[in-house]
Amino acid sequence: MTGDTPRRRVLEVEHLKVEFPTRRGNLVAVDDVSFHINEGEVLGVVGESGAGKSLTGAAIIGLLEPPGRVAGGEIRLAGRRIDDLPYERMRRVRGREIGMVFQDPLTSLNPLYTIGRQLVETLQTHGSFSEQAARRRAIELLGEVGIPSPRQRVDQFPHQFSGGMRQRVVIALALCANPRLIIADEPTTALDVSIQAQIITLLKRLCREHDAAVMLITHDMGVIAETADRVAVMYAGRLAEIGAVDDVIRRAKHPYTHGLMGSIPLIGDDTERLTQIEGAMPRLTEIPAGCAFNPRCPKAFERCRVERPELIPADGTAVACWLFDRSPSPGAAADG
Amino acid sequence: MAARPELAPLSVSFVAHAADRLRRFFDGDLFYSFRRSPVTVAAFAVTVLLFAVAALAPWVAPHNTYDVATLNLMDARLPPYGFTDQFGTPGDPRFMLGTDDQGRDILSAIMFGLQISLGVGFASVILAALFGTLLGLVSGYVGGRIDSVIMRVADVQLTFPAILIALLIDGVIGGILPRAMHEELKVYVLILAIAASQWVNFARTVRGSTLVEKSKEYVQAAKVIGVHPARIMLRHVLPNVMGPVLVIATLSLAIAVLTEATLSFLGVGVPVTRPSLGTLIRIGQQYLFSGEWWMTIFPSVALVIVVLSVNLLGDWLRDALNPKLR
Amino acid sequence: MQRLFQALIVMMVVALVSFSLFQFVGDPVNNMLGPEGTIEQREKLREKLGLNDPVPVQFVRYVANAARGDFGLSYRIGKPVDELLAERLPATVELVLVSAVIALALGVPMGVYTGLRRNAWLSRVFLTVSLVGISLPTFVIGILMILVFGVWLGWLPTFGRGGVTDIGGWQTSLLTLKGWSHIIMPAITLALFQLTLIMRLVRAEMLEVLRTDYIKFARARGLRSRSINFGHALKNTLVPVITIMGLQIGSLLAFSIITETVFSWPGMGLLFLQAIQFVDIPVMSSYLVLMALFFVLINLTVDLLYYAVDPRLRVERAGSVAH
């Protein structure tokens, strides 16, 4: 973490809080989450379904669906605050400075318009292209993402493409205005396993070429291991652990992360049983006091049930776990 | 039930199931949103009131409009109480909403008319619901050719507006029956006609829900165990399908009442001896030009209130039961 | 192709139904001669009408006649049915057309508005009006209009078409102001129900569309609201709406019967109603066949339209889907 001057940070999220007012009270879906992404870096955000990953992404790009709203914290893009911008200003940020890729390529594209039209529209919104120039650029982009015969395909409709091809088109659309940050929300989950690798490689290559930072949201650890530089683990709307990908994966510190890594079967592994974590992630309405993971944690002790842990630096990564708290504190000592 | 012993406990468990659901209903989101919306509560209250009046008409109505002996032509064409007509004749407190050309009290006529209108509407909906749900269940569950045939028929029927179908069936069967049997059977024919125009809505929705449920694991499991298809359909699929059916039933009731009123207004609905609201409106229309507006307006208002309340209720029900909007 | 076949089947079924009407309902000879005819007269008539031939032959003859437009004579009036229908057709068609235009021109914008601006007070007004609109039966609306505009205010005439101008055999009432004053109330009455339906439909579709992923993605790309709302959302909303529109015309045709009754509008609907009451089979069956033809044609057109508008339905040329 040393050597990163704030200037090189593309995205800074500080104490982000997203809540949903319901008649049952305020549901906090993202609770005090802080992280940053540097230029050209890929940050993986992992966690189970419902952990708050997608909502974090939505909050960053300003597309939280009401009644959800940002209830606290700051989001800064290249030093500029973007969480409090009026709609029209934020609209100009979207696409131009932040691009987003969603999970299902079929439903992400308007079935009634040719993909050429959708590309041209996006290009003309963010830049001053003439009709022909935009069309030329669109064909170029299609070539960049690996669509064969782009000149013919540019006039085709989304349903004429296969799933993998469609996701390439989606990536082209997200990148066409050269944003500095790409948020990819489960970009490969809806695709065949054989295509997933291609898409991930493509994404990584393009972002490197365009010099864009990536926030890669997924629940697939394999993708993270392949692609990410750093990884953040989310649980019940909170950050459990964040650090360089090798550190987090091979030397997981948070008991939850540890459990996650242990539950991935590795080829050539001799272990007979996969690690299982007892219980399930709590629903937003039933988050326990103290550390959200404490009921399921094999190493929980008194303090875990009472005080919510902050992110504690430990050996290159940051962990939200009292096990790593070196400072003297009241309450029982940690074991192990 | 005796021939199918395995279906006997069906009824017991169904009732227990229903009772439990009722208890959960009052605790649940549905009732909450109900209480929260004053319009819906009002609509519900009005609907209940109207049904009560319709059911109790013979006892609640101030006059018995069917008893010819009580009619006095001197009382004919009186304006509502508190108004005077163009000749200066004042209204009579005995006939709060005025009288028609035969001296019948409009208020009572409306009450009896309500009985007919709601009765026919309700019966039609029940018939359509039973028939449609059954067909939908079978169509969705069994699939294959039966499904294609049923859906084809439904599609073809849907190309024609419901009212035309009701008109047709009513007219045709009415034409076939010998005049003597006409009067008594007319009402049943009408109910049949309206039901025939509505069953498709039920069938389609139930089929859709059945298809969804069919692929769920509990149904697969039951099939594997070897539970009889009828039992699967009735015990497992049907309760899950009741929600949408209820919504359709409510909206269907509104349409049925409207259809009956329209057919009666056109003269091909209920026989004149038992006038429904539609019939009253038709008769009253003739007197519109002579300035005796009450004969047609009050039954119209009653009709609109009925349909409006039922529609409001149905709307709320649909929004409340729609999982996407929660 | 499949649709065409289905359409043919429908027509056949309808023809069968109509034909059976002839066979089983009432006795045409009786109806035409009345009770006074002698037995010889009846027999002669039977021969002439071909009633002694076997049923299938009669059916074929019926269909052949129908295809030529010959439906025989009306029991009630005695004139050939096709003449009667031709007389009444323009009145109904003009009524339906004017109503359709009104319903569409008002319903679609209202629907779009309430879909886009869900919380504006005007939206709430529109929605309340629509709820009432759905609950007001057509004939009640007609009666109310007659009462207010005809009886109390005396502004508009309450029955008939007013004068008609003959254009090449088609009798139109739309070329005179008087004609318009006669058609305006029935047209609005007829349109009101459809208008609320269209409005609600467009609104529902709009709301659905606004929730889709591609709209979300469009927003994520920073497209302008105007492009999103009117370019993407509207176009996608209108596609299913177009098809419903076609069905609405059918609905209008059906409801025109009611409107014609209320306003004594001399159209086909009124004719049909009188036929039902009188059990005038030729008129009934021919109306049936005509209506069926209309509906089948409308459905075919709608299917074609859908096909033309939605690219997903167009047949793929070989080899265009590649991995």
Would you say the C-alpha torsion B256, B261, B263, B264 has a positive or negative sign?
positive
d(CA A287, CA A242): 21
ipTM rounded to 2 decimals: 0.82
Task: Output the average pLDDT for chain B.
Answer: 78
Query: Is the confidence at residue C296, as pLDDT, over 70?
Result: yes
> Which residues sit opposite A19 in a β-bridge?
A28, A69
Q: What pLDDT, on a 0 to 100 scale, did the predictor assign at position A269? A: 59
Contact A112 C217 (CB under 8 A): no
Min mean pLDDT across A13-17, A204-208, B78-82, C192-196 is at B78-82
Cα angle for residues C307, C312, C314 (degrees, 5° grid): 50
**Helix, strand, or coil (residue C61):** helix
Q: How far is CA B148 from CA A175, C12, C300, in A?
A: 47, 19, 20
3-state secondary structure C270-291: HHHHHHHHHCCHHHHHHHHHHH
Q: What pLDDT, on a 0 to 100 scale, did the predictor assign at position C314? A: 66
Query: Is the confidence at residue C323, as pLDDT, over 50?
Result: no
Interface of C with B in 8-47 (CB under 8 A): 10, 13, 21, 24-26
Query: Is the confidence at residue B93, as pLDDT, over 90?
Result: no
Min mean pLDDT across B110-114, B204-208, B238-242 is at B238-242
End-to-end CA distance of chain A: 26
d(CA B287, CA B295): 7
d(CA A226, CA A207): 15
Quote the DSSP letter at residue C267. S
Q: How far is CA B215 from CA B45, B81, B132, B221, in A?
A: 40, 63, 21, 10
Quote the DSSP letter at residue B68. G
Question: Which residues of chain A neighbour C232 with C-beta distances below 8 Å?
Answer: 110, 113
Among B46, B179, B300, B324, the strongest candidate for a mutation testing the C interface, having the largest count of C CBs within 10 A, is B300
Give the number of other Cβ atoms within 10 Å of residue B211's Cβ: 16
Q: Please report the DSSP string for B127-138 in residue order.
A: HHHHHHHHHHHH
Return the higher-pLDDT residue of C211 and B219.
Answer: C211
Q: What pLDDT, on a 0 to 100 scale, did the predictor assign at position C316? A: 45
H or E stretch at B21:
helix B8-27
Q: What residues contact A164, with CB distance under 8 A and at least 6 apart? A: A191, A192, A195, A198, A199, C323
Query: Is the confidence at residue A265, as pLDDT, over 70?
Result: no
d(CA A104, CA C172): 55
Query: Is the confidence at residue B181, as pLDDT, over 70?
Result: no
Mean predicted confidence (pLDDT) in C3-8: 69
* Maximum separation of any 2 CA atoms in chain C, in Å: 87
- What are the phi and psi torsion angles at A18 (to 5°)? -120, 125
Subunits with at least 3 CB pairs below 8 A relative to chain B? C
Query: Is the confidence at residue C47, as pLDDT, over 90?
Result: no
Q: How far is CA A134 from CA A93, A98, A142, B190, in A?
A: 20, 20, 12, 64
Q: Please report the DSSP string for A88-152 in residue order.
A: HHHHHHBTTTEEEE-S-HHHHS-TTS-HHHHHHHHHHHHS---HHHHHHHHHHHHHHTT-SSHHH
Q: How far is CA B222 from CA B140, B156, B209, B219, in A?
A: 17, 35, 18, 5
Contact C257 B161 (CB under 8 A): no
Q: What pLDDT, on a 0 to 100 scale, did the predictor assign at position B123? A: 92
The torsion of the CA quartet B281, B286, B287, B293, rounded to 10 degrees, works out to: 40
C-alpha C85: how far from chain center:
16
Q: What pLDDT, on a 0 to 100 scale, did the predictor assign at position B20? A: 66
Q: What pLDDT, on a 0 to 100 scale, did the predictor assign at position A183? A: 92
Query: Is the confidence at residue C163, as pLDDT, over 80?
Result: no
Cα angle for residues B256, B258, B263 (degrees, 5° grid): 95
Return the higher-pLDDT residue of A166 and C18.
Answer: A166
Q: What pLDDT, on a 0 to 100 scale, did the predictor assign at position C322? A: 39
d(CA B251, CA B19): 25
Q: What pLDDT, on a 0 to 100 scale, did the predictor assign at position B151? A: 85
In this predicted model, what pLDDT tens digit does every residue of A93-130 receive, in sequence order?
A: 888 889 899 888 888 898 888 888 899 988 888 888 88
pLDDT band at C2 (very low <50, low <70, confident <90, very high): low
Min mean pLDDT across B242-256, B296-310, C96-110, C120-134 is at C120-134
Contact B175 C26 (CB under 8 A): yes
C-beta separation of A322 from A301 below 8 A = yes
Q: Minimal CA–CA distance to B160: which of C315, A152, C288, A223?
A: C288
**Helix, strand, or coil (residue A317):** strand
Q: What pLDDT, on a 0 to 100 scale, did the predictor assign at position B106? A: 84
**Percent of chain B at pLDDT exceeding 70:** 82
Nearest CA in chain B to C258: B266
Q: What pLDDT, on a 0 to 100 scale, did the predictor assign at position B124? A: 92
C-beta separation of B281 from B150 below 8 A = no
Q: Among partner residues C136, C151, C279, which is closest to B304 by beta-carbon distance?
A: C136
- In the block, tokens 């419902």 appear at A50
In this predicted model, what pLDDT tens digit does every residue of C245-289 receive, in sequence order?
A: 777 787 888 888 888 888 888 888 888 888 777 767 777 777 777
d(CA C131, CA C122): 14
Return the higher-pLDDT residue of B319 and A305.
Answer: A305
d(CA C296, CA C300): 6
C219 touching A, CB under 8 A?
yes
Q: What pLDDT, on a 0 to 100 scale, did the predictor assign at position A331? A: 47
Q: What pLDDT, on a 0 to 100 scale, did the predictor assign at position B325? A: 46
Q: What pLDDT, on a 0 to 100 scale, did the predictor assign at position A283? A: 79
pLDDT band at B1 (very low <50, low <70, confident <90, very high): very low
Would you say the C-alpha torsion C141, C143, C144, C148 has a positive or negative sign?
positive
**Percent of chain C at pLDDT exceeding 90:** 0
Return the higher-pLDDT residue of B161 and B175.
Answer: B161
pLDDT band at A264 (very low <50, low <70, confident <90, very high): low
B289 touching C, CB under 8 A?
yes
Interface of C with B in 209-238 (CB under 8 A): none
Structure tokens at B270: 């209920």
Q: Minimal CA–CA distance to A245: which of A264, A231, A266, A262?
A: A231
Q: What pLDDT, on a 0 to 100 scale, did the predictor assign at position B189? A: 82
Return the higher-pLDDT residue of B240 and B251.
Answer: B251
In this predicted model, what pLDDT tens digit does every residue of A138-151 receive, in sequence order?
A: 898 888 888 888 88
Q: How far is CA A328 from CA A68, A316, A332, in A?
A: 39, 21, 10
**Percent of chain B at pLDDT exceeding 90:** 5
Q: What pLDDT, on a 0 to 100 scale, did the predictor assign at position A324? A: 80
d(CA C251, CA C247): 6
Min mean pLDDT across B251-260, C50-59, C82-91, C109-118 is at C50-59
Q: Among partner residues C135, C143, C261, which is closest to B266 by beta-carbon distance?
A: C261
